[in-house]
Amino acid sequence: MRPAAALERIEAVSAGEEEAAVLGVDSGVPVLAITRTTSDERGVPFEFSQDIFWGDRTRILVHVSDATGTTHSAREQGRLVHFPVGLPKGSPTDGVKTEGL
C-alpha cells in the first residue's frame, strides 16, 4: 500500500484530564493536537492518527512536494490562499479559496 494523499490538521487545544496526565501537565494548559488521515491512490483511507504534544516544546517541519518532486509555496505559484474564519471544528477544508496575484 502506497500513500497518495494525507489530510493533517494541526491546532492548539486545551489539555483534557487524560492528555494532561500522560504529558505530565496541568489540565487546561495549551497543547498541540495533530490529527492525520492518509489515503491510497484510490482515495481509500488506511491510516488515522491523533497525537498530542506539549505546546511549549514542539517544533513542526513540513515539506510538501507535487508529483514531479518540486516544492512550491502558494506565493511562488502566484496564488493567495484564504482560509475561512470561524470554521466549525471537524469541518472539511473545502471552503479554501485561491486567487491569482
User: Mean pLDDT, to the nearest integer, of 20-49?
Assistant: 93
Q: Whole domain around residue 55: which residue ranges?
A: 1-62
C-alpha cell at 21: 496526565
Residue 57 sits in the same domain as residue 73: no
Rounded average pLDDT over 32-40:
93
Domain count within the chain: 2
Based on the fold, state whether residues 50 and 86 are members of the same structural domain: no
Q: Quick one: pLDDT at residue 82?
A: 55
- Dist CA 101 CA 96 (whole Å): 16
> Model confidence at 101, in pLDDT bands (50, 70, 90)?
very low
How far apart CA 58 and CA 31 sit, in angstroms, is: 9
- CATH code, 34: 3.40.1410.10
- Give Cα 2 to chain centroid, integer Å: 20
57-83 CB burial, b ≥16 within 10 A, e <16: eeeeeeeeeeeeeeeeeeeeeeeeeee
